[in-house]
Amino acid sequence: MEKELKYLDFFKKRSTLRRYSSSEEVSDETLTALLEAASHAPTTGNMQLYSVISTRDNDMKERLAPLHFNQPTVKGCSVMLTFCADLRRFEKWCEQRNARPGFRNYHSFITALIDTALFAQQFVTLAELNGIGSCYLGTVTYNAEKIAEILSLPERVVPVLCLTVGYPEDGTGFPPASDRIPVNGVLHKETYKDYSKDDIDRLFEYKESLEESKRFVEENSKETLAQVFTDIRYPGKMNEEVSESFSRLVKDKGF
Amino acid sequence: MEKELKYLDFFKKRSTLRRYSSSEEVSDETLTALLEAASHAPTTGNMQLYSVISTRDNDMKERLAPLHFNQPTVKGCSVMLTFCADLRRFEKWCEQRNARPGFRNYHSFITALIDTALFAQQFVTLAELNGIGSCYLGTVTYNAEKIAEILSLPERVVPVLCLTVGYPEDGTGFPPASDRIPVNGVLHKETYKDYSKDDIDRLFEYKESLEESKRFVEENSKETLAQVFTDIRYPGKMNEEVSESFSRLVKDKGF
């Protein structure tokens, strides 16, 4: 007899929160308690290769906002968190203990990036379980060089994820969950089963049928929803420019 | 008046599970339900740039085990999950919809890697909330080329995280939580405050004081715990070799 699974609905109904209460703040005490619990997320070899910089100061928000394309969520949030892949702390420890760290390479950056993402997501989940919402800002890697400067990030520390955090506005709460493709479009058993033309049609059918998707296509004068992604939201030229600036930063920070 | 925070203890007490029940399996139904709920994790632009390959077949486990350094958790688990950064599905959709994707670059790989990590960690948390344990295998990136071959991963699909999954052994349950450095060693307010020598001593003091740590030092005939990390567990030469093979695979897959 199958056990009944718990929490499925809570996780399926979660959503990104972009508009926050102006009256209720996420206190330092709350933030610290959530981050402390989140730091028990899995981490490679228990090295905890990350740091997080909190931004509450209005002047700091003003300086960071344009680097996040002036998304209103930056100035409107209670606190912004910039999660960084951080080898610095661990290496300092090694050096103080007569050990020679060998982490100035690509793989160590990937390891730290994964550590950081697991920590950030653990924080997001803990926050949501406590009625606190958040929004990841992909822009953190677009302008990582300038963000690193403003946050005084030293060598060996690279910003990789960013969150705005706050309680929902009074009365509005969290928005409805957004669509996902059917899980059998993501899960492959034993080996990767490549997608046929029909598979792709079937997997993206629901997303394409949404009124919101149709509006995106119309507002952007495109033929298909996919073109909104490739031409407007994530154009190749931009991805290439960001690739260049971000990999330059990663190298500058000693990876 | 501060709200009381929930779930802190659960998250602080979570731990990696390496030994699984041989009688109780994580059924396909349970696995799919957990993955489906986990797929509602945040994802860049709702693109879901990931896939997951499940391994239950004993022959497949036999073939994969040596690539994970024969960690007993591979053959002992109910199911193994290899999480992959996957641009293939999304690009196929774009191409079928007369859109030209521009994701063959470094930044798009990083984006997919983060998407994948958030999805994997959401699965881990959901599993734990349902009494199912797991263990990340960092070895997935060490031998990613061979793993990609065995799992038939096509172009645009790169294995980045791996989990073994199962219920705890009867009577033993989950091990105690492992140590973390104090949260104020991870959180920086407004700007990065660099670590002094005293800070480092203080942050790592507890870890160094543990009996387990002292045993590692002794068993490996080292002077300090840090040397166990730099000389035995994560030596520079190995990190550099993995950097080379993993970045070669990422390039081979079209990033």
Q: Tell me, what amino acid is at A233?
A: R
Exposed e or buried b for every residue in B7-44, given b needs 16+ CB within 10 A?
Answer: bbeebeebbbbbbbbeebbbeeebbebbbbbbbbbbbb
- Nearest Cβ partner for A121 among B121, B131, B207: B121
Nearest residue in chain B measured CA to CA from A155: B194
Secondary structure class of A175 (helix, strand, coil): coil
CA–CA separation, B107 and B110 (whole Å): 5
A219-228 average pLDDT score: 97
Q: What are the Cα distances from residue B236, in Å, to A101, A106, A157, A252, B240?
A: 7, 12, 19, 19, 6
pLDDT over 70 (residue A2): no
DSSP A7-41: SHHHHHH-----SB-SS----HHHHHHHHHHHTTS
pLDDT at residue A172, as a whole number? 85
CA–CA separation, B245 and B251 (whole Å): 10
pLDDT at residue B170, as a whole number? 83
CA–CA separation, B200 and A60 (whole Å): 27
CA–CA separation, B54 and A228 (whole Å): 33
- Nearest Cβ partner for B5 among A33, A114, A235: A33
Secondary structure class of A54 (helix, strand, coil): strand
Integer-rounded Cα Rg, in Å, for chain A is: 20
Residue B158, phi then psi, degrees to nearest 5: -130, 125
Which residues face B212 on adjacent strands?
none
Please count the residue pairs, one from chain A and one from chain B, whose beta carbons lie less than 8 angstroms apart.
Answer: 367
pLDDT at residue A171, as a whole number? 77
CB atoms closer than 10 angstroms to residue A187 = 19
Q: How far is A218 from chain B (nearest CA, A)?
A: 15
A185-211 average pLDDT score: 98
Sheet holding B50-55, edge to edge: A187-189, B50-55, B79-86, B157-166, B133-136
pLDDT at residue A129, as a whole number? 98
- For chain B, residues with pLDDT lower than 70 are 1-2
Secondary structure class of A51 (helix, strand, coil): strand
* Residue A1: pLDDT band with limits 50, 70, 90: very low
pLDDT at residue B1, as a whole number? 47
Place of tokens 């899980």: A183
- B69 contacts in chain A (CB < 8 Å): none
* Residue A186: pLDDT band with limits 50, 70, 90: very high
CA–CA separation, B230 and A103 (whole Å): 9
| Contact across the interface for A246 and B157, Cβ inside 8 Å | no
pLDDT, tens digit (0-9, with 9 covering 90-100), for A41-96: 999 999 999 999 999 999 999 999 999 999 999 999 999 999 999 999 999 999 99
Of A66, A55, A2, A10, the residue nearest A28 (C-alpha): A55
Average pLDDT score, chain A: 97
CA–CA separation, A177 and A225 (whole Å): 19
- A184 contacts in chain B (CB < 8 Å): 32
- pTM for this structure? 0.98
The rounded percent of chain A whose pLDDT value lies above 90 is 97
Secondary structure class of A173 (helix, strand, coil): coil
pLDDT at residue B2, as a whole number? 64
- B84 contacts in chain A (CB < 8 Å): 192
Nearest residue in chain B measured CA to CA from A55: B190
A161-170 average pLDDT score: 96
| Contact across the interface for B130 and A191, Cβ inside 8 Å | no
* Residue A3: pLDDT band with limits 50, 70, 90: confident
Q: Given the DSSP bridges, would you call strands B133-136 and B157-166 parallel, antiparallel or unpaired?
A: antiparallel
Residue B237, phi then psi, degrees to nearest 5: -60, -45
- A225 contacts in chain B (CB < 8 Å): 97
- B143 contacts in chain A (CB < 8 Å): none
- Nearest Cβ partner for A53 among B94, B110, B191: B191
Which residues face A161 on adjacent strands?
A83
